[in-house]
């Protein structure tokens, strides 16, 4: 049987890497999307490292803020492997500051990278999924899209916007064998969190009922479930994976 093809945007980051590994273990042909400002060597180093660990994961370059670049990325994957069966919209950035100091550039950078990109990538794969009458789309949001966060009006707005997008598209394609869901991680022990000063990090940890930060693998396992054939009755959902830090 031909392997299903899974594209993970932001695939070379902390959570993205864990998702790529998990989907590889699940039997998919995994493609890690990356941009890195055009730093191809960085992506190649990542690929080589994973290959040494036994993971054969392809790379696909694309600027998810640019529709034409996304189009070229998808076309390249289609040419090399075939049409995409599973899309994980994981790429994103932060540009934190309070609203009164936030520049239009900070606003647009985050909205375009974290939200508009989800429209671009989903729009470019949805027709192939409709044709096959099967597909899985998982959008990686954030606890801060659920509850808001001081200094993150742009990020919280983008991540909250994913929910509306997820629910609308899920309704459009539910009868065609395609599911669309959102996962909202809490504080995950990636370099972004681990680089925070220890005393601040400890205060954050104290606010998590399970008593620890999440691991990237915690998120990858949720994605694995949603991407599975047997998860076909779950669509339009948002799954919170935050250690109990925010319950609603």
Which residues carry out catalysis?
155
Q: What 3-state class would DSSP assign to 61? A: strand
d(CA 246, CA 241): 9
Residue 136, token pair as written in the block: 């899985």
Q: Are the beta carbons of 116 and 142 closer than 8 angstroms?
A: no
The radius of gyration computed from the CA coordinates of the chain, to the nearest angstrom, equals: 17
Concatenated DSSP letters for 68-134?
Answer: HHHHHHHHHHHHHT-S-SEEEE---------GGG--HHHHHHHHIIIIIHHHHHHHHHHHHHHHHT-
Between the two ends of the chain, the Cα-to-Cα distance in Å is 42
């Amino acid at each position: 049987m031909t392997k299903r093809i899974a594209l993970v945007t932001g695939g070379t980051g902390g959570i993205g890497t864990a998702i790529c590994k998990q989907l590889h273990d699940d039997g998919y042909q995994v493609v890690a999307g990356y941009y890195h400002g055009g730093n191809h060597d960085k992506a190649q180093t990542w690929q080589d490292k994973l290959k040494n660990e036994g993971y054969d994961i392809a790379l696909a370059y694309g600027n998810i803020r640019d529709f034409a670049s996304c189009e070229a990325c998808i076309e390249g994957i289609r040419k090399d492997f075939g049409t995409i069966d599973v899309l994980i919209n994981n790429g994103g950035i932060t540009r934190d500051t309070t609203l009164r100091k936030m520049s239009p550039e900070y606003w647009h950078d985050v909205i375009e990278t974290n939200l508009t990109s989800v429209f671009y990538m989903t729009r470019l794969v949805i027709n192939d999924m409709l044709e096959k009458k099967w597909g899985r789309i998982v959008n990686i949001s954030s606890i801060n899209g659920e509850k808001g966060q001081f200094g993150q009006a742009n990020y919280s707005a983008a991540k909250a916007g994913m929910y509306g997008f997820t629910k609308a598209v899920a309704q459009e394609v539910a009868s065609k064998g395609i599911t669309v869901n959102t996962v909202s991680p809490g504080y995950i022990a990636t370099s972004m969190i681990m680089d925070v000063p220890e005393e601040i990090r400890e205060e954050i940890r104290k606010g998590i009922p399970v008593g620890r930060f999440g691991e990237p693998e915690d998120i990858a396992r949720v994605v694995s479930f949603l991407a599975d054939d047997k998860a076909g009755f779950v669509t339009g959902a948002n799954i919170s994976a935050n250690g109990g830090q925010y319950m609603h």
